[in-house]
Structure 1
């Protein structure tokens, strides 16, 4: 099956790394902003993330780094991307090292907040 459109590529990729994401977004936001869930699948996943230059693990580790450096306001997205990175093979050590490196760019508070988010994801995995 050829994935010809950005939406089709995004749907396939989002279901691989974050199953059910579009439905969850639709249930929460589409009554307020119709089509928001489809846009999230189509634009970041179908246009940016599916380019094929980076493997999924590398892309997700880069995303974790950016979100960690941005600080505590990204906690929900950080947790989703940490879980997705773990699902495609990133180790706990790799996730924590990426977060630790962001101390240089986002500061200690941002690193601690991101590390706490990672710990929450790891604890959920262990349950």
Structure 2
């Protein structure tokens, strides 16, 4: 069996957890930086995320933790990763607990900003 390339692995995974992401990135950024959308699919998704060592839920909860600890500037990425985590089975309670735990590492303002991002995702789920 032939080895699947990083782009193909990334495309499959990104469509599983964030359908339409590559097309959205291409529409917004590829005119400014040609190939940016493909690079995002190939490098983080195909090279890092698709390693298969941890399951998607664990990986996404770890990503939420890191983004929460980094602070408020990560709100757009937090929302995408929270929605992806929910799509692969993470409960609201798990997401909120991970964010809460990051109070020790990112501080209270970072935790509150991340919790607000989670609330926005949950509100979107409730109205969908």
TM-score range relative to shorter protein:
over 0.9
Q: Tell me how far apart the structure 1 counterparts of residues 25 and 53 of structure 2 sit (CA, whole Å).
A: 27
For the aligned residues, what is the CA RMSD?
Answer: 1.1
Count residues with an aligned counterpart.
Answer: 126
Query: Where in structure 2 are there 5+ consecutive unaligned residues?
Result: none
CA offset at residue 4 of structure 1? 1.0
CA offset at residue 93 of structure 1? 0.1
- Superposition map of 1:110-121 within 5 A: 110-121=110-121
Alpha carbons 1:3, 1:9 under 8 Å: kept: no
The TM-score with structure 2 as length reference comes to 0.97
Query: Where in structure 1 are there 5+ consecutive unaligned residues?
Result: none
CA offset at residue 2 of structure 1? 6.0
The TM-score with structure 1 as length reference comes to 0.97
Displacement over 4 Å in runs of 4+: none
3-state SS in 2 of match to 1:63: helix
Q: Tell me how far apart the structure 2 counterparts of residues 85 and 49 of structure 1 sit (CA, whole Å).
A: 13
Q: Which residue of 2 aligns with 1:9?
A: 9
Q: Tell me how far apart the structure 2 counterparts of residues 48 and 18 of structure 1 sit (CA, whole Å).
A: 16
Q: Measured at CA, do residues 105 and 35 of structure 1 come closer, stay the same or move farther in structure 2, by a change above 3 Å?
A: same
